[in-house]
Structure 1
Amino acid sequence: MAQPVYALGLGCERGCEPLELLKLATKVLTDAGIAASDLTGIYSIDQRRHEPAMIAVSEKLALPLVCYSAAVLEKQTPRLLNPSKAVFALVGCHGVAEAAALSAAGPRGSLVAGKTKSAHATAALAITKR
């Protein structure tokens, strides 16, 4: 069995429905041809650590939820495909899903799938290259 090498970054609005976030996460994985078993975990911003949708996806996929501070995510801004001034104004970093995936993937990691959006959530996928 191959070691997991992908990081799934997720972002969502407060009160996002768990099913919406799960459908988005599943879509990104399916579109990339990646199984949940290929993931090292679910990654997001610490402001969403206790968000029911984040917890639900983590539990459904049986993966750890790891959250980073806005300051840590902001360090990924030069690597983002879709930086957002609006996101920065809301949470203090220029992206959550892409930045969280890249933070988890490490300095040599790269995005496999840039930010994909639903009505109230975002998802991105990165591959680790350690």
Structure 2
Amino acid sequence: MNKVEFDDRRSFVLGLGCERGASPAEVLALARSALQQAGITADDIAAVASIAARTGEPAILNAAQSLAVPVIFFEPDVLERETPRLANPSDIVFKLVGCHGVAESAALAAAGVTAALILPKMKSPHATAAIAKTVLQND
């Protein structure tokens, strides 16, 4: 999937990052905590987004399935283009995966060029989450 379908009801993207083999329960709990902290619900989410290296990662797929939304994955070079818009760029993450952030970058990349982070990166022991809001024409 390369394109997220947004509408008046679903105008947010949940970006997720995790270590390989992270617990699906931990990642889902972090995702739900992020939604709660942002003051939105699963019904407001258009998609979950992450890095291509996590394609097939059970924790990411479980979160998207539990929230009943599609999941979109981006290559590191696409995520790296989002670095100027990140609240928490990380040189450590860059050394590990080739971009300065996963959760924030993925949320922004999926939400589009006019999107903004409404919830910067938050962490659990083995995962990260961030939320971006797309700007619809009638916003």
Fold in common (TM above 0.5): yes
Q: What CA distance in whole angstroms lies between the structure 2 residues aligned with 1:74 and 1:68?
A: 10
1:31 equivalent to 2:30? Answer: no
2:92 to 68, 86, 96: 86
Matches within 5 A, 1:12-51: 12-51=18-57
Q: Could you tell me which runs of 5 or more consecutive residues in structure 1 were left unpaired when the two chains were aligned.
A: none
Match of 1:108 in 2: 114
1:2 is displaced (CA, Å) by: 3.9
CA-atom RMSD, angstroms? 1.1
The two structures have a TM-score, normalised by structure 1, of 0.97
1:31 is displaced (CA, Å) by: 1.1
Match of 2:127 in 1: 121
What is the percent sequence identity of the aligned residues?
Answer: 51
Q: What CA distance in whole angstroms lies between the structure 1 residues aligned with 2:53 and 2:12?
A: 23
1:52 is displaced (CA, Å) by: 0.7
Amino acid at match of 2:37: D
Task: Extract structure 1 runs of 4+ deviating beyond 2 A.
Answer: none
Q: What CA distance in whole angstroms lies between the structure 1 residues aligned with 2:8 and 2:42?
A: 12
Q: What CA distance in whole angstroms lies between the structure 2 residues aligned with 1:10 and 1:26?
A: 11
Structure 2 counterpart SS, 1:126? strand
Q: Give the total of aligned pairs.
A: 130
Q: Could you tell me which runs of 5 or more consecutive residues in structure 2 were left unpaired when the two chains were aligned.
A: 1-6
- With 118-127 and 32-41 compared, the bigger mean Cα shift is at 32-41
Match of 2:3 in 1: none
Match of 1:99 in 2: 105
The two structures have a TM-score, normalised by structure 2, of 0.91
Q: What CA distance in whole angstroms lies between the structure 2 residues aligned with 1:9 and 1:79?
A: 14
